[in-house]
Structure 1
Amino acid sequence: MTTTTTAHRRNTQLSDTACRAAKPADKPYNLPDQRGLYLRVMPTGGKLWRWNYRYHDKQKTMTFGIYPDVPLALARERHDAARKLLAADHDPMAERKATKAARAAAAENSFERVARQWFDHWKPSKSPAHAGYVIRRLEADAFPLIGKLPVSEIPASAFRDVAKRIESRGALDVAKRVLETCGQVMRYSVAHDLAPRNTAADIKPADILPARSKTNYARVDTKELPALLRAIDRYNGRIRTRLAMQLMALTFVRTGELIGARWDEFDLDAARWTLPADRMKMRTPHIVPLSRQALAVLADVRQLTGDSPLLFCNDRDHRRPMSNNAILAALDAMGYKGRMTGHGFRGVASTLLHEQGWPHEHIELQLAHQPRNAVSAAYNHALYLPQRAAMMDAWGDFLDGQRADNVVQLARVA
């Protein structure tokens, strides 16, 4: 009993104080700790944690780091883990090497790296415009949050956080699409043995994102926009209604704001439409920069209005605006009943402009969504006006390309 107690004391006598106090000598020497762990003190002053063990009749020495970077408690923890592996007939050093290799492989297979591999595999069958949308969405919204995480270790909650962050800025459709694209990347990861499972599939958009109202604000998918624009151009009803739909697509103002438009609100030389506060939902002024396409539509409208102060006057009384349902009735007659409304042009524009990387604050100001108080109203309505003008010019060119079924990028101006 006495011999055992003495040995126990000898095996547990090492402390942080003793480790710190150990001085180098002419030759290396060991300070033993419990169960075979020891601190090797080198002539140069270095102190190394070591453990000698035998595996399949071979003598081996395992290191656990340098003191004081690895303190005594951590060295004991690593030593205990190695002893458990040895007791289970595993070589601790071989297991550590395999673990390091696995971690290195996981780091190599980060979400961004695998996503770009997937993109190169996926894009050849897609149009350049669509492929560009997808990679820009990942670069803007996914890579900053999860790009460095190994695909084998990304939890479902990470994809949730990506989608919720996008949704928080009002880009609901973008959030859904990014979540869908992340799922495609993860399926690619599973197919190529880079991840054990597709954790993005654990989340459905409906689980975390609010539903869009389809009753009041029905709108076509962005893929249907080219067909819709061509249908508007071919509309054989009233010319004034066709022009109203064309101008709404180019300016994405609210229906009431459009049909109540007056010529004295327009400065065609400055390519600007200024809506007064009493005609705005937010009760503050609103400026709409006019693209060359919008100016061309206005020139056609001018030929129809005669002496009416209104752009879109009622056929029976030129002192009154056209019916609030005129645009909706025209869309219904074109085959878009229940699928598109005048308000829907705003949602389509918001989605595509966000996808193309235009700043959220510029888009929100152009949609007149920004809440404004009386003090800031006079300032905010003209905020970012040069940038918004560039955005509206790009939007007009984009719609021309969509109408002609050509690839036109909504190029963002820095």
Structure 2
Amino acid sequence: MPKLAVPLTESQIRALEPRATRYSIADGNGLVIEVMTTGTKVWRFRYSLNGKRQPLATIGDYRMISLRVARARAQKYAEMVAQGVSPVATARRDRGAESKADVLREAAELYLTTEMAGKSEEYRRTTRRTLDKDVLPAIGGKPIKAVTSDDIAAICDRIKSRGSPKMALHTRNVVKRLYEYLIARQLATTNPAEVIPARSIATVDSRTRVLSGDEIGTMLRAIDASSIRRPLKLALHLLVLTMVRKSDLVESTWAEFDLDRALWTIPAARLKKDRDQRVHLAHQAVDLLRELHRARAGRHFVFPSVRGDDRPIARSTLNQAVKALGLDVEHFVLHDFRRTASAHLRDMAQRSDALEGLEQQPTAEEHATGQRRIAQRWADFVDAQIEGAAKR
């Protein structure tokens, strides 16, 4: 039985170095990448027709075609072969449709149609709008390698002059990501946006960052529609609903939860405090936890490592998952979820209600009831933002 190819990653492909003779690495499903002695990397499709091995069909230059697109092409050609049709003519037409990205406008279009294809619709739309509004009208006709940091600084200065320093920083970040893509594709050698310090464009105090209701809804919808693992989607949603620290959630164990009572007790020892912390759960949070429990992959931890050993996911896992989504939310970190909840709850007068109760020295049951009411009000608010984002 032939050995199955291990799927490649973009980082592995970028690391492939030329040798004295050209060579190929298989990705699977007939897709291979051929590394030429010059360092050029070319996607090919390997196939057989009528039981005979055929010459490789060329998909195209790696600089112009991402791994995701190459796989989609290979799948299309494999379906043609299954019907007894040679994919060579189709592959030739597909190659002819590829732009030759010599100037920035063409490179940006390549970036939007390949790298951005897997991102959320909102992220693609805001990225395209940023490029179309300020970047391409100014420097879209310049050769990729002729764009300088002065060009990018001038664009940012014009945006700042409109009274929009945050948009200027966002624009710099879009160009920076565009050039990171072009460098990975060997279409550029330097990143003109990278040398411009963020603090020279806009200063943001991250400790005051509060997400708007629209941002909450848009973010959670994008997370739900993404391709990240389902447990990570639920973890991010629970992080919003429970208002706990990231480490408290990712290191939680099933023994800490009483889902029938909608109660999560975080042990003092894990918190390194003198007493346990009780987290009252809204019914939405309980529903998410029950889903995780039904499909649980580990006996002990709620979010076990995929490596198979009985330990939780790394604390950085959720950050990496959010970063991979490319969400268009300025200056956001996961810790901002807690600050966001506090701010919106104050607006809804829930904090003042709870404080009034504390001043009157409520009983333990009255305090628990108040905490449950706060948790449910917040979860209902989050649901409303998600529904609102669906209608926009």
TM class by shorter-chain length?
Answer: 0.3 to 0.5
Q: TM-score, normalised by structure 2?
A: 0.42
Given the two structures, how large is their TM-score scaled by the length of structure 1?
A: 0.40
Larger radius of gyration: 1
